[in-house]
């Protein structure tokens, strides 16, 4: 019985291991590439690091900042939230300027 228990635990061990640092680095690179491509901002850059949600949700979020490309925006800085669907490897962005503090007197 003891041998059977050990054999079962050995078979399940690879499933319990966390992703390697290299796997996380590759994931972060894929997220950033997909999010910057989906962004409507000029020269978008991440703000902070990506936030991977639980596997039950399946998304990783990243905040991007860049400049609005429209002429009438006159190079104003903008912020977008990107959600990266890990299953489909797709990125979705939405404007999220409301997370930035507003200047007084505006």
Q: Tens of pLDDT along 48-84?
A: 999 999 999 999 999 999 999 999 999 899 999 999 9
Helix (H) / strand (E) element for 5: namely helix 2-16
Q: How many CB atoms lie within 10 A of CB 27?
A: 16
Residue 4 has a pLDDT of 36
Q: How many CB atoms lie within 10 A of CB 50?
A: 17
Do 67 and 40 form a contact (C-beta atoms < 8 A)?
no
> 42: which strand partners?
67
Question: pTM of the entire structure?
Answer: 0.75
């Amino acid at each position: 019985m003891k041998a059977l228990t050990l054999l079962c635990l050995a078979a399940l061990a690879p499933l319990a291991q966390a992703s390697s640092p290299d796997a996380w680095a590759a994931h972060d690179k894929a997220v950033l590439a997909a999010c910057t491509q989906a962004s409507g901002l000029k020269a978008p850059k991440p703000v902070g690091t990506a936030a991977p949600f639980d596997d039950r949700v399946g998304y990783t979020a990243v905040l991007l900042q860049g400049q609005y490309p429209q002429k009438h925006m006159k190079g104003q800085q903008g912020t977008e939230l990107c959600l990266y669907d890990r299953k489909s490897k797709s990125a979705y962005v939405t404007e999220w300027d409301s997370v930035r503090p507003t200047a007084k007197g505006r």
